[in-house]
Amino acid sequence: MTTPSRLALVPFVSVDTMMKLVHRKGVEPMLIELAAAIEADFRRWPSFDKTPRVASHSDVGVIELMPTSDGEMYGFKYVNGHPINMKSGLQTVTAFGLLADVATGYPLLLSEMTILTALRTAATSAMAARALAPKGATTMALIGNGAQAEFQALAFKAICGITNIRLYDIDPAATAKCARNLAGHGLTLTACKTPEEAILGAQIITTVTADKQYATILSDNMVGAGVHINAVGGDCPGKTELHRDILLRSSIFVEYPPQTRIEGEIQQLAPDHPVTELWQVLSGTAPGRTSAPQITLFDSVGFAIEDFSALRYIHAQLPGSGLGQMLDMIADPNEPRDLFGMLQRARTIAA
């Protein structure tokens, strides 16, 4: 049996490797670079295959596949969402992803994406806010202080210039955790006892809660003119965070309407309610914020192109880094038609 060829060995980024990459780069610089990579792909949005993610729902959560391709590379992410996991000490969201070469079908990268999803979600949020939020915004309310919260806070600091974060979670322990983790990162942090307190003076409101239910994290009377809402938590059928009346007063921006109308806040609205695709704003073909009193809403559910961008970014970081493990994933017989002969030859080695 021969040594696997270079094409048969696939780079693998483990959780440990991902953390090393983040710390070598720095969390905020990496968020900035991820946002740039995602924005570059949004600007060439028409070149991608697009389909709503394939979801398998249960009473306790959802498992999803998120595929896309730009004709040269193909990528997909496996991701779950199980809010009930927290009661057992497990992650609510876990993920892994793969990047492949369209020309051969061979994998180019296998990577953890639990950490990477948190990074790309935060980078996308801040990228959207940079285009939609009031200019000169300095204060953000961060409602929901779970696993994604710190990433969101640091992305808005690095990309949008936010300096003040007002924290609220239904669980005070989550807020304490978030404040502890963000200490020393150059942010002014205020722990709040109610969501109403959290939004005081905030030009940006980020909601990132986990419960899989129709919820009203923000009621209509809580949202005044001129704010930008970054709605992250509503990301599957039957799960929302905003009162419907807020949507009716807002200019709504989405990633991919066929998916967002099923999963996002706009599942509460008529199927033909007008929305603007974010890629159109970033490419200059549609307006974003047009007036000071306008309420802008980024109805974020996460889309496969963002994961593709993140995987492509990670793949580009590996050469020369000394990081990553090469996995023997692809059978590589000397003669492509002689797969069984390869198996037979291995018998003598196994013996």
Note whether 195 and 143 are within 8 A (CB). Answer: yes
Rg for the chain, CA atoms, rounded? 22
- 15-25 vs 304-317: helix crossing angle, rounded to 10: 80
Instruction: Report the run of H or E that residue 43 belongs to, with start and end.
Output: none
CA-to-CA distance for 63 and 324, rounded, in angstroms?
27
Q: CA–CA distance from 32 to each of 40, 127, 259 (Å)?
A: 12, 9, 26
Give the dihedral of Cα atoms 173, 141, 267, 288; nearest 10 deg: -150
C-beta pairs of 89-94 under 8 Å, 24+ apart in sequence: 91/147, 92/146, 92/147, 92/210, 93/117, 93/147
Q: Which of 41, 169, 235, 299 is catalytic?
A: 235
Take residue 240 and report the two structure tokens written for it. 């929302």
Q: CA–CA distance from 123 to each of 108, 217, 335 (Å)?
A: 24, 23, 45
CA-to-CA distance for 169 and 149, rounded, in angstroms?
10
Cα 233 versus chain centre, distance: 11
Neighbours of 309 (CB within 10 A): 25
Which among 254, 34, 235, 255 has a CA at the least distance from the CA of 154?
A: 34
**Which amino acid would we find at residue 322?**
G
Catalytic status, residue 235:
yes
Q: Render the burial of 186-219: b for 16+ CB within 10 Å, e for the rest.
A: ebebbbbeebeebbeebbbbbbbbbebeebebbe
- Which residues does the annotation mark as catalytic? 235
